[in-house]
Amino acid sequence: MFILTTKEKRELVTKCHRFKSMKYSSSLPYAFTEHGVAMLATILNSDIAEKENGILY
């Protein structure tokens, strides 16, 4: 897990419309690497976690 830089946040907001509400936030968002998401999915016990883990591989 890491925090996006201001430049990365601006680029994300510009390219992905679903993050447009983040445009005016003063805080920087946290992000997970693909590997980090896979690791989380292995410890979460839910149908959604299993589905997402399957998409990654």
pLDDT (tens digit per residue) in 6-57 = 999 999 999 988 888 888 999 999 988 888 877 777 777 677 766 766 665 5
pTM: 0.58
What's the pLDDT score for residue 52? 66
Nearest to 28 by CA among 4, 49, 51: 4
DSSP strand E in 4-57: where? 30-31
What's the pLDDT score for residue 38? 77
The boundaries of the domain holding residue 37 are 2-56
What's the pLDDT score for residue 32? 86
How many domains does the chain fold into? 1
What's the pLDDT score for residue 47? 72
